[in-house]
Amino acid sequence: MFHKEGQNIVLISFFLVCAASLAVHFYVEPHWLRIGLLGLLLIGLVLILQFFRNPTRLAPMRFDEIVSPVDGKVVAIEEVEETEYFKGRRIQVSIFMSPLNVHVTRYPASGVITYSKYHKGKFLVAWHPKSSEENERTTVVLRTPQFGEILYRQIAGAVARRIVNYAEEGESVHQGDDAGFIKFGSRVDLLLPLKCQVTVKLDQKVKGAVTCVATVPRKEDDAA
């Protein structure tokens, strides 16, 4: 199954590869060069198909868990000063997506969208420390029953040149539902309340709508 944001690209790529393959088959010599070019065309098509894949994911639908919004690798877990919306300290969990990852963005929790804003910006590499502040990005805030307000930020990278964000202010959303798409590599930051207990580690690979990123601490943990 392919994401709707890639359906036109997939169809166009398929027809272009078919046309190019026919041209190579009939007009390219010698045989070894023909086989090589056909192989490259096939690899290119497979890469495009895998990039826009949209596997079905069933989120746990638990109010006391925040799940990863994307597939990728955890590259940062730190306490930061969030300056756009909260204007205060938050726990930031950053997830980097390579071009080989599924690039669908999914809602990390169920709740109501209280803020959704697009920012123009640069295209620094996604792991650059300044990318979350200077790159093209979207910021979305969800008001949840257990965590209060949480924020996630889609960040374009050096290759990613288009962010798609479906979140609209006032809309009620469900954990794991499709929230958007980032084309060709990027990163997503989660900004969580300090009371959260982060359940992932640096360099851990996570799956969107599947991997639990944070939970609400138990009362005995708060007492300790």
**pLDDT by 10s per residue, the chain, length 224:** 766 776 777 788 888 889 998 888 888 888 888 889 889 989 888 877 776 777 888 888 889 999 999 999 999 999 999 999 999 999 999 999 887 888 899 999 999 999 999 988 665 555 555 555 667 889 999 999 999 999 999 988 655 457 889 999 999 999 999 999 887 668 899 999 999 999 999 999 999 999 999 998 866 555 44
Task: Give the pTM.
Answer: 0.81
**DSSP letters spanning the chain:** -B-GGGHHHHHHHHHHHHHHHHHHHHH--SHHHHHHHHHHHHHHHHHHHHHTB---------TTEEE-SSSEEEEEEEEEEETTTT-EEEEEEEEEE-TTS--EEE-SS-EEEEEEEEE--B---TTSTTHHHHBSEEEEEEEETTTEEEEEEEEE-SS--EEEE---TT-EE-TTSEEEEEESSEEEEEEE-TT-EE---TT-EE-TTTSEEEEPPPHHHHH-
**Would you name the residues annotated as active-site residues?**
186
